[in-house]
Structure 1
Amino acid sequence: MAPPDYSAQVLREPPVKVTLQPSNHPYLNGAWTPLREEVTVEELPVIEGAIPTDIDGIYIRNTENPVHQPLGRYHPFDGDGMLHQVSFSGGRASYRNRFIRTRGFEAEQEAERALWGGLMDGPGVSTRPGFGAHGRLKDASSTDVVVHRSQALTTFYQCGEAYALDAETLEAEGIAPWVPLDGISAHPKVDLETGELLFFNYSKHAPFMHYGVVDPAGKLVHYVPVPLPGPRLPHDMAFTKNWSILNDFPLFWDAELLKKDIHVARQHPLPSRFALIPRHGTPDQIRWFEAAPTYVLHFLNAWEEGDEVIMDGYFQHNPMPAPLKNADGYGHMMAYVDEHSFKPKLHRWRFNLATGETHEQSLDDRILEFGTYNQRMSGHPYRYAYSTTTKPGWFLFNGFVKHDLETGESWSLTLPEGRYASEAPFAPRVNASSEDDGYLVSFIIDENRGTSECILVDARDIEAGPVCRLALPHKISSGTHAYWVERVHLPR
């Protein structure tokens, strides 16, 4: 099939300044090849199937796209943030992508070179003070994205400033004005029922963690300390109707090396701990629960049943993996982004508020992560979860698994070799009749053809594959997190 002709409909933004040179770095090539251009396409052409008329909302994904030659050793999480967005309405779909104009990005555009070192670099590489918990890194705002109050909010995994863009147009709206001094971590949560945004941050100074709530009008209405024994590296949180759930895992920076400004994570002989705090609670109301030692990158849903708070997520069975074989010296980094090395598996924790005990169980023995579910069920009992599978040795999604958490059944969709997906949020059908009545939305990078697509998969029958494939105007880079927002949740 001939490729779509975009020449008459692609609107291109002025080019950004680029100094990045070709290299053999495994995460600057292939599906992780950086994208430099920013475009708008008002109507995406269909490759296969038809765009359903019962989907109405926005799919938006964050990616790492470095534009400057790194000062030291590049880590894939160092790249500049870029949003890719597809807007669905009335059986049509548009596309646009934009760099996130962080303060770091703008400073480096002005200097026409990199100013900050990365995650794998030691002291003395960055030329300016950095941001967030680490203190030497650029806040690239490239990890996560959610939509709150019609704004796409992008965040950085080591804590940063939270940048706002118009969710429809991706026009930059600057730093969210409510962000506290210590910033916010990736993975703030939007409660669709209340319109609130829940977040946490962490730092290297006492009390080492804070928790906050932003109201539907975009005002910070609650912000309290969550005291920890020392600096920690939390990455995600969960919430129920009444509780927010934070964590203290035994994988965190080595205290002795930290005194020398060297940031090396170690697994310590400690249990996992979970902090349950009432939605608008105070530090004295925190309930701490101990659990088996692990590290968790991502949680799914959480809810309440009687005296129990129940939470699902991905329990790592090997949080400190051995380096992978790599002739270019990237083996340590490659192991820490390879799920088949750190072995996350679907897991359930039960916190009993009456006894203070924790009970936990494994829900699947497969390597799974980056799960999504119907966001209408957030904070409530739910039935269906959708996880990703990955290519061994790589941070590349190669399929999806749907779980029926009531019956224990599961169904899989594995992509052909050379095709890699993005995190795939659940998009409910308009007037949906059941929890799984909707679509999984994802971007696909096709390394065989050098192209990219946006696909829709019927969530009730994922084994059937895409019901619709849309051609993108360029090959995008792989990345991290994505979000779906229904248009009814975009206030005007």
Structure 2
Amino acid sequence: MVTRPEMDLSRFPYLQGNYAPVLEESTFDEGEGGLRVEGKLPENITGAFMRNGPNVAWQPDHYVYPVDGDGMIHAVYFKDGRVHYRNRWVRTQWFKVEEQLKRACWGSHGKPFPVDEETIAAGGSPSPMKNPANTNVLLHGGKLFALFEAGFPHIMSPDLSSADEYNYDGLLTAGEGLTAHPKICGRTGELISNTQTFTPPYFTVQIFDKSGAHKRSIPIHGMHRRAMVHDMQICGDYIVGFFAPAFPDIEAAMKGKNPFVWEGDRATRIFVVHRDGGEPQWFEAPTFFSWHFCNGFQSGQKLYIDYVWMKSMPVSNDLGTGVESQMRNMHRLTLDLKSGAVTDEKVGATYCEFSRSDDRRCGQPYRYGFAAAATEAWGESPNHGYNGTIAYDMDTGKSTLWDYGAGANAGEPVHIPNPDSENEEDGYLMTYVNHPKEGRYLAILSAGNVGSGPIAKVYIPSRVPNGFHANWMNGLTLNG
């Protein structure tokens, strides 16, 4: 492994505490000096819980919101009631060049700068925008992907030792990015994704069949410019996306100004398009922003969309503004395809993010939603985090929260189906937790009894920093 010089991260709020990177790749099995299991692991699951996130490898020049830093995947593999852990950087071409030159060669997405000649001579891309493959990790069509929405996906080997760019056999061309937050339809196994460009139509839905073959492109006409659209949702026969007034501005970013423009006097527009194609239907709602959906479904001519609501886009290029820690709540939006009516109701008042549901129900009627939750006040902290896991009963509107304790950081909770049951509540939830006294562990909870806390904990000797999206790779083992 390359020796990495110590970094000065003191001026970057989102590189403090459990947002700070880890600089070593580790491998642990159960036993002395390795993983310690408390409680009883589910014995009927085989697969891997993986989470991606930004992990800076070299001294950064600029870092505001945690979207920069090379992707690092933290994985716990389950087989025959035993567990194995490893963390690995996503070894993109950008990562390899920086490792060769032993320094950061590209700027941040908030402050890009021209690429120098030494970097280009070493095989680096001349584009000032880097693809760190740091946002999501997903298994579809037999391929394990590391995803970043402003670039091509990377295919990872099951043991995370290799990463190769993948353009879906020429579907993706230079300058296009495939979203980092696709959805896999619980009914068909199709991957519902999108590409975005800076030229009309700006946004195109891309549908891949369950084997990973491209099936259909659906351009979304009606956008006047490219917007920050991180997520979208399947609702039965339809696909829904939010077109909030948050617009990237590359020229401003190159000058060190805010990389996004928030035009709060504009309404948030919502598109609905049939999965078979055709022109979108547009709706308008009072201005809001959202990173993530929980789930959605169709009932007759009405679509129901559960998502995490924010007042505005939580990104600024200035350090310590606090805008990124603004309130976020679970909401349910209802669209009437016949009348055009839009209603929006708050599901709960708890601060939450990274909402999920049982992926087998994706796009279909469901009952339980889950999210990372915060009950602590973050006003005195240089950043924000989540100290709990919350479960929402979407039928009753009630919620149940498990608090991991003061100072704890908990990540996105992922629903792992119980292979012996079709019931959502019979599954498990998994999330990484960093506790100031207990240490670092993978928490495993009962999806139907979150309020009782973890049924098992897998303690990890090395730290797992805060990160982004996680998924369960059903059936995946170290050998494939």
TM-score normalised to the size of structure 1?
Answer: 0.86
Q: Distance in 2 between matches of 1:102 and 1:69?
A: 18
Percent of aligned pairs with the same amino acid: 27
Q: Does 1:271 align with 2:254?
A: no
The 1:96–1:151 alpha-carbon spacing in structure 2 relative to 1, beyond 3 Å, is farther
Query: 1:488, CA displacement in angstroms?
Result: 8.9
Aligned residue in 2 for 1:239:
234
Query: 1:40, CA displacement in angstroms?
Result: 2.7
The 1:419–1:265 alpha-carbon spacing in structure 2 relative to 1, beyond 3 Å, is same
Give a deviation string over 1:119-156, Cα, whole Å, max 9, x none: 33265588779x99xx7331111112221123221212
Unpaired stretches in structure 1, ≥5 consecutive residues = 1-14, 324-328
Q: Distance in 1 between matches of 2:13 and 2:256?
A: 28
Aligned residue in 2 for 1:62:
52
User: Which amino acid in 1 is paired with 2:153?
Assistant: A
RMSD between aligned alpha carbons?
A: 2.9
**3-state DSSP class of the match of 2:100?**
helix
Q: Distance in 2 between matches of 1:172 and 1:279?
A: 34
User: Which amino acid in 2 is paired with 1:286?
Assistant: P
Q: Distance in 2 between matches of 1:69 and 1:265?
A: 28
Equivalent positions of 1:314-333 (< 5 A) are 314-319=308-313, 330-332=319-321
Q: Does 1:30 align with 2:22?
A: no
Do the aligned partners of 1:146 and 1:190 also contact (CA within 8 Å) in 2?
A: no
**3-state DSSP class of the match of 1:436?**
helix
Give a deviation string over 1:339-387, Cα, whole Å, max 9, x none: xx2x111111111111222222111122221111111111111111112
Aligned residue in 2 for 1:473:
461
Q: Does 1:413 align with 2:402?
A: yes
Q: Distance in 2 between matches of 1:192 and 1:488?
A: 19
Aligned residue in 1 for 2:140:
148
Equivalent positions of 1:233-312 (< 5 A) are 233-253=228-248, 257=252, 263-282=259-278, 285-312=279-306
Unpaired stretches in structure 2, ≥5 consecutive residues = none
**3-state DSSP class of the match of 2:14?**
coil
Q: Distance in 1 between matches of 2:268 and 2:156?
A: 36
Match among 62, 85, 102 for residue 75 of structure 2: 85
Query: 1:45, CA displacement in angstroms?
Result: 3.6
Equivalent positions of 1:365-376 (< 5 A) are 365-376=349-360
User: Which amino acid in 1 is paired with 2:355?
Assistant: G
Q: Distance in 1 between matches of 2:366 and 2:290?
A: 20
The 1:472–1:320 alpha-carbon spacing in structure 2 relative to 1, beyond 3 Å, is closer
Aligned residue in 1 for 2:27:
40
Query: 1:174, CA displacement in angstroms?
Result: 1.1
Aligned residue in 2 for 1:51:
41
Query: 1:259, CA displacement in angstroms?
Result: 10
Aligned residue in 1 for 2:420:
431
Which 10-residue stretch deviates more, 376-385 or 115-124? 115-124
**3-state DSSP class of the match of 2:272?**
strand
User: Which amino acid in 2 is paired with 1:463?
Assistant: G
Aligned residue in 1 for 2:392:
403
Equivalent positions of 1:88-167 (< 5 A) are 88-121=78-111, 124=114, 136-157=128-149, 159-166=150-157
Give a deviation string over 1:77-127, Cα, whole Å, max 9, x none: 211101111122322111122110112111211222111111332655887
Which stretches of structure 1, 4 residues or more, deviate above 4 A after TM superposition? 122-129, 254-262, 320-323, 488-492
Do the aligned partners of 2:333 and 2:343 also contact (CA within 8 Å) in 1?
A: yes
TM-score normalised to the size of structure 2?
Answer: 0.88
Q: Distance in 1 between matches of 2:477 and 2:358?
A: 14
**3-state DSSP class of the match of 2:295?**
strand
